[in-house]
Amino acid sequence: MWQLIRKRKYFYAFSLLISLASILALATWGLKLGIDFKGGTLLEVSWDGKKVPDRAVIEDAMKKVPRVESLIVQPSGEKRTLIRYAASDEALNEAVFAELKKKDAAVTLIRSEFIGASVSESIKRNAVIALFLAVIGIILYIAWAFRGVSRPVSSWHYGIQATVALAHDILITLGVFSFLGKFFGVEVGAPFIAALLTILGYSVNDTIVVYDRIRENLLRSGGHEDFESVVNRSLNQTIARSFNTSFTVIIVLIAISIFGGESIRSFSVALLVGVAAGTYSSIYIATALLVTGYEFQKKRNSRKEFGVELEKTSVSSNKKKKILADTPDSPLLDSSAGVLGSSLPLPVTNGASPSHRNSGKERKKKKNRRRRR
């Protein structure tokens, strides 16, 4: 059996290194936001020709128009196409439509909409609220699901440690996209938020599988086995299942990222990074944090018990001193005595104690009475 939990310090160090790199990337470069978050223009056109131009052909045509950034081309029906780009200039829209006419002279403009900054701010706010509510819901559900194993670790610890692992996964995904946005121009939009929510669900599902096995083993042991041993055994029992499941998902996501097209590439890449990070965190972080939290709580309880015992000893000593202080003839209060009781006068017995002398006189009196009789 692999002693994975004993090596948790190395896992913590690796996760800390990646998390710090992600925070540094976000603080330095930030995320390259798409038109969903910074506003832009949405055009919907209809093609009258027999053949609708491919997306790659439309993208190449749009590159010829100056100031067209954050371009997204999506098919909409049989002969319609949605074109999005981060600009709100009417002259630029006319230049774009003129370029499209070169591909099909009969092309018609169905609609032209501008996505303002207020809408983008609303999308940002709703995205943050959605992530926050999802995390709160996960904590409450895990705490309720594991209420039957509140010993030796409270059920709330399961939810909190799982949430720390989720934050680890989200942070790494954001850091990777900050790097991709800086050097490869990858933008984040509404599909990226959907990917983050999906990562939360998938990662916590993997974590709950391990937690559920820990719960079963705790109930079977009846509290007679060390908690760290139970967690390590549960982890060894589920690690193969976690790796196999995640590996099959990762293969599918790699295929989608390569062949799925530009419109869903950011979504699939975000899922790919998040699933990989979630598999690692559910095995090496979430379960290890349970043991670390248990040991911290155990040490804190020991300190409290030691403090209570010390306080009881201090109170008992003060009571004894008070009792001795209330006794005026106590030998302990004689400050002139170097040794306890050394100042007390010793009785002079002349070879016999007073009790022995009294008993001898009484025997003589009894003998004299017998003789008189």
**Order of strands across the sheet that contains 108-115:** 72-75, 80-85, 40-46, 108-115
> Taking a C-beta distance cutoff of 8 angstroms, is the pair 217, 230 a contact?
yes
- The CATH code that applies to domain 7-33+119-299 is 1.20.1640.10
Q: Which CATH number fits domain 40-115: 3.20.20.70, 3.40.50.150, 3.30.70.3400, 3.40.50.2000?
A: 3.30.70.3400
Residue 74: φ, ψ to 5° = -135, 135
> Taking a C-beta distance cutoff of 8 angstroms, is the pair 18, 78 a contact?
no
Question: Where do the structural domains in the chain lie, given as residue ranges?
Answer: 7-33+119-299, 40-115
* Predicted local confidence at residue 332, as pLDDT: 46
Answer positive or negative: Cα dihedral of 241, 242, 247, 252.
Answer: positive
> Taking a C-beta distance cutoff of 8 angstroms, is the pair 167, 131 a contact?
no
* Predicted local confidence at residue 339, as pLDDT: 42
Distance, CA of 179 to CA of 201 (rounded, Å): 24
CA atoms within 13 A on the CB side of 10: 5
3-state helix, strand, coil in the chain (%, to 5): 70, 5, 25
Quick one: 341 exposed, middle or buried, by C-beta within 10 A (0-12, 13-18, 19+)?
exposed
What is the mean pLDDT, run by run of 10 residues, along the chain of 373 residues? 88 96 96 83 85 85 85 82 84 88 87 73 83 89 78 82 93 96 88 91 89 88 83 92 92 91 86 95 91 84 65 64 58 46 47 52 67 62
DSSP string, 163-220: HHHHHHHHHHHHHHHHHHHHHH---B-HHHHHHHHHHHHHHHHHHHHHHHHHHHHHHH
